[in-house]
Amino acid sequence: MKTAIFHDYFGSIGGGEKTVVSMAKILDADIFTTDIDAFSIFNSKVPVHTLRRTVKKSPLKQISTSLSFSHCDLHDEFDFFLFTGNWSVHAAAVHHPNLWYCYTPTRAFYDNYQNFLNTMHPVVRPAFAAWVAFHRRWNEKAIKSVDSIISISNTISERVQTYLNRESLVIYPPVDTRRYSCVEYGDFWLSVNRLYPEKRLELQIETFRSLPDEHLVIVGSYSRGDQAEGYARKILHNLPKNVTYIGEVTEEELISYYARCKGHITTASHEDFGLTPVEAMASGKPVVAVCEGGYRETVTNATGILTSAEVPVLREAVHFLSENPESYRSACLQQATKFDKDNFAKKIREAVYNGMAKRENFP
């Protein structure tokens, strides 16, 4: 069986991109995307094909990506199709049987709409609102051609039901836990995320500004044209001396950071799933996370601390875990196995098999 995976773009590397590559390896699939700027970080032999490059300015980037997928036609070349990301679903109309592995319904269209609007200059707000109104309807029309939906967490399954009125199965994203190890509990905390407003890195920075004896290392970047450049410049402009920004790193380098850090901190607003806490736990490291979204499905009292999104509370959590991070190692390693790639592989293959069983319903 020949399988194709459509993914928005590889402009920067996050949990979504890692999941796509893992899925392609498991299903022996080809990936079709737009930008591949950051794909080399994976050092992977997975076949990746570029439909066309995007316009690097929002919302032209999102519109051009949607057009790229809506105009492609590979239905005669593959037997099954998967979509990941926000815009690849525009290929659904002519590619059956299919399923959408949903990271989240586009948050700028739904639960984060007002937050995005509030961060913008008043002059551009009407244009943003007009784009959202147009593109949301366009997206929702495309999603009607999706045969089945798999959500990455219970949090996302609820959003899919609320905003799209669709049922979805939950399959957690994979982590290859065997690649991770604990070398030491070093002298720094690790933050791994895209530099997007919803990640709320300012909470982490201010937390460590108030903890001068602790050190924070921030890993991650952003995709050009994703409305993140202004936010990134703002938060990186005045870092305290004990906060170091590294930028994008290779997978091998990231695994090394996990292996040597003291613990992991993550503060995204209602995170879709949150792969980084699982990667940290696979390295035997405790996690400080906000008690929202997917973090509530991965982090337990035995593996770290779930807190409110407030600097004083985050500071206390970091201080407490820094006293004895080693004591969390066993529980962290055990918790991470629940999200191992072998579990994901079994479930995603079964989902594709079930989708293929319905093939006779499509021309």
Segment 39-52 shows an average pLDDT of: 81
Nearest-angstrom CA–CA distance, 216 and 213: 10
**Residue 41 pLDDT exceeds 70:** no
Q: In what helix (H) or strand (E) does residue 100 lie, and over which residues does it extend?
A: strand 98-102
CA distances in angstroms from 238 to 92, 202, 210, 230, 247, listed in the order given:
44, 11, 14, 14, 16
Nearest-angstrom CA–CA distance, 35 and 8: 8
**Residue 11 pLDDT exceeds 90:** no
Nearest-angstrom CA–CA distance, 338 and 134: 40
pLDDT in tens, 143-156: 999 999 999 999 99
Nearest-angstrom CA–CA distance, 24 and 19: 9
Segment 199-204 shows an average pLDDT of: 97
* Dihedral sign for Cα atoms in the order 169, 175, 178, 181: negative
Does domain 177-338 bear CATH number 3.40.50.2000?
yes
Nearest-angstrom CA–CA distance, 288 and 340: 21
Would you place residue 360 in the very low, low, confident or very high pLDDT band (cuts 50, 70, 90)? low
Would you place residue 56 in the very low, low, confident or very high pLDDT band (cuts 50, 70, 90)? confident
Which residue intervals of the chain bear CATH 3.40.50.2000?
3-174+341-360, 177-338
Q: Closest by alpha carbon to 129, among 140, 121, 117?
A: 117
CA distances in angstroms from 132 to 109, 140, 160, 188, 321, listed in the order given:
6, 12, 18, 40, 42
- Residue 348 has what pLDDT? 98
- Residue 36 has what pLDDT? 87
Residue with tokens 């492609």: 72
Instruction: Give residues with Cβ within 8 angstroms of 206, minimum separation 6.
Output: 311
Instruction: Give residues with Cβ within 8 angstroms of 310, minimum separation 6.
Output: 203
Would you place residue 43 in the very low, low, confident or very high pLDDT band (cuts 50, 70, 90)? low
CATH class of the domain at 3-174+341-360: alpha beta
- Looking at this protein, which amino acid is placed at residue 217? V
Q: Closest by alpha carbon to 170, among 181, 178, 159?
A: 159
- Residue 340 has what pLDDT? 96
Interhelix angle 125-143/60-71, rounded to 10 degrees, is 20
Lowest model confidence (mean pLDDT) among 46-55, 93-102, 181-190, 323-332? 46-55
- Residue 118 has what pLDDT? 86
pLDDT in tens, 257-301: 999 999 999 999 999 999 999 999 999 999 999 999 999 999 999
Instruction: Give residues with Cβ within 8 angstroms of 181, minimum separation 6.
Output: 259, 283, 284
pLDDT in tens, 206-239: 999 999 999 999 999 877 656 667 788 889 999 9
* Percent of the chain topping pLDDT 90: 82
Strand order in the sheet with 149-151: 48-50, 30-33, 3-7, 80-84, 98-102, 149-151, 169-170
